[in-house]
Structure 1
Amino acid sequence: MASTKSQFMVNAFDVSTTDSLDPAIQGIVRRRARILGPGYKLFYKNPLELVRGEGVYMYDVQGNRYLDAYNNVPSVGHCHPHVVKAISEQAAKLNTHTRYAAEPILDYSERLLATFPAELDNIMFTCTGSEAVDLALRISRFHTQGSGVVVTANAYHGLTTAAAEISPQLGANVPVGQHVWTVEAPRPDRTDGKDPGEAFAAGVATAIADMQRHGIKFAAFIADSLFSTDGILPDPAGFLQPTVDVVHAAGGLYIADEVQPGFARTGDTMWGFQRHGIVPDIAVMGKPMGNGMPIAGVVVKSTILAGFGNNVRYFNTFGGNSVSIAAAAAVLDVIENEGLRENSQKIGRYLKDELRQSTSGNDAVSAVRGAGLYLAVDFVDDNGLPSADAASDFINGLRQRGVLIGGTGLYGNTLKIRPLLPFTQEHADEFLEAFDDTLATTGRNNG
């Protein structure tokens, strides 16, 4: 039987090993536990104390440098000068909510909406992706007068009560909602020769039918367009088209969760759903939007938002505040002016090709996938079954070599390689050198 992931978090620090840590970090870990409680988790077998970031690197308290191939929050680079300047100048001028007339929020909104299909013509701002998902669900349920939601089996969409109920990845102690149905993630290698798009859409249709048989009206289907927590499943591009048709035929709305794949991450397009040639009814954004500042949003068709906006009182005090809007506008400047979408496409393709070459003939690795600067490498055991232990050892091996990545997938056996958007070929080669060195130490070559 395949080893399963931790019920709490992939790549989580095991607090039972605290005594084995160096005294300085051990003191911080114990202090965290005493002050913050058990809810906060640390990464890696040997946690990091990071004190500074610049570009695609972070530095620990001893001055050691780490190549960041994990964080998608400061996606245009740690402490990017243009973003830092925009934040500081606006903070010194004014920071307030959206109930006063102001042009900067309108200027940014027009620029952002111009990157979406014309049908998606309204935007509402929140502070976090979780809040954006929560709001998208409220809009969907008001518009359809339904309550049922379909998600994939290991989806993660956020931490508010409503978002957690559609996030089975959070584990058995956070049960899915009573009006939530799950479907298996789209795996082209497991469709018995059927078209992967048709096979996935058929699963969604079956879930909707079962939901309706139980007397629950369908409201929405929501998916991260890269299926990140299901194991990073981007291909084949276009396979989500039949699902949109199934959702609309059942009277529901299609919500594209763009927190992970949005803002040029996939390289081919600005938004993950665009790789599939679809137009969702709602798209939600989060983490990378302000490069670390708390800003997120919901982009929605005005024909759908009209009823909710005119009949439901909604306000978010900090959503769309002046400083966060300045940060978001600066992020968009950087993406456009520095060609980061094109860079994501180019460097992502290079990394994927090199990773496939590096792992060829190594029976510890069963697959390499990816779109742009979001890549996956699957690890298996001697029997060819998913191995979370092998992936964990590899993640921690890279950490010891000064490279930071994460893990994901239903079994926790998938490397999550998510470099910052300004990664150059030099950075990619630095990553690949550490990857090959770690693979030589932990992999199983067939000779």
Structure 2
Amino acid sequence: MIAPGTAPAADRLRPPERVAVVDLDAIRSNVRRFVRVAAPARLMAVVKADAYGHGAVPVATAALEAGASWLGVAHIEEALALRAAGIDAPLLAWLHTPQSDFAGAIAAGIDLGSAGWELGPIAAVAVEQGQVARVHLKIDTGLGRNGSPAADWDALLSAAMAHQAAGRIRVVGVFSHLAVADEPDRPETDEQLAAFREFVALAERAGAAVEVRHLANTPATLTRPDTHFDLVRVGLGLYGLSPFAGTAPSALGLRPAMTLTSLVAQCKDVPAGQGVSYGLSYRTMGPSALGLIPLGYADGIPRIATGGPVRVNGVTYPVVGRIAMDQMVIDLGEAGLVASGRSATGAEAVLFGPGDDGEPSVDEWAAAAGTNNYEIVTRVSPRVQRRYLNAFPGAGDIRRQMTLESSTAVEDGPTARAARPA
């Protein structure tokens, strides 16, 4: 008898129809690269948004194994999920609303960012719990998003020091975020750095015993050692993607971690003038073959990304016509696989990968969609199964192994990818 809700063994071994394969050895390699670059500053691995679509728990575990000292997320609920998975590393959550679970965060030993209004609720909850909340004050040095305005910094420091003197909170960090570090020649980074130094000095004069000052993001970590301070926050670079336009990850010593694939669902010959997808914005120039790829905007593929590359049987084809909710179409050409007697149905379709086998890149899809590489990987939806390569270097921890296996497929070793259909 098969237990209710348990798939037969053959089904569990069947290759998925849509899969994002994440190589955790690539994550570890990238972390080690940033640890070396940032030293003596420590590394915060930013794993918000489910680790940019790669899987927060597996990525956080791999990052800590490779030398990351901290983890960073936007929301408390993301931090609590990491704690629930057994991850006890230093952890910061920085973006809150009046409904945020400050009580859960303080109880779980999560550091909290504050730009002003959050101090009162955080202090009140800390008093209720009989604990001292650890707080990082955020100053807006020019990005114009979250962070205390410069004019309010003195008032924020005064309130924070009053709460600290009363034993409600302890200010352990000061941080900010850079606006244009991915454009190294722009002067605004120098201006933000100078402002940050000034605001940190004001905090220290007010009585804050700051443990960590943090400003640098991925591009600044790579190009601006003067922004490193005590801690750097690396997001995009963890996943092996370049923050600089026109610069390949390999030029930065990074390895893209995610490969997104599906299987060709249908392949058919069509006549000249055949319209493709909604609006019939594309028509075949002559007799051709069309391949149907079962990925669409419900899977996170941008609807606007017509022209995005798909590699089938060693040849890269552009997506033609409008990308739909569940599917997209590639034009295999007059000498297409059907016309030549070799149907592509069931063949692997690679949207992007690390490039080792000539796969298209995340950056090519970003260009097709008119967006950045961050968005392409982050928006890959939960409908696309995640599989992990090299999840357990060495013996590993059985509890972590069970956590991973309960929610996703885990494959260990460098040959795991070869099990996918060719």
Q: What TM-score results when the alignment is normalised by the length of structure 2?
A: 0.31
Q: Whose strand proportion is higher, 1 or 2?
A: 2
Larger Rg: 2
TM-score normalised to the size of structure 1?
A: 0.30
- Higher RCO by CA contacts (8 Å cutoff, separation 6 or greater): 1
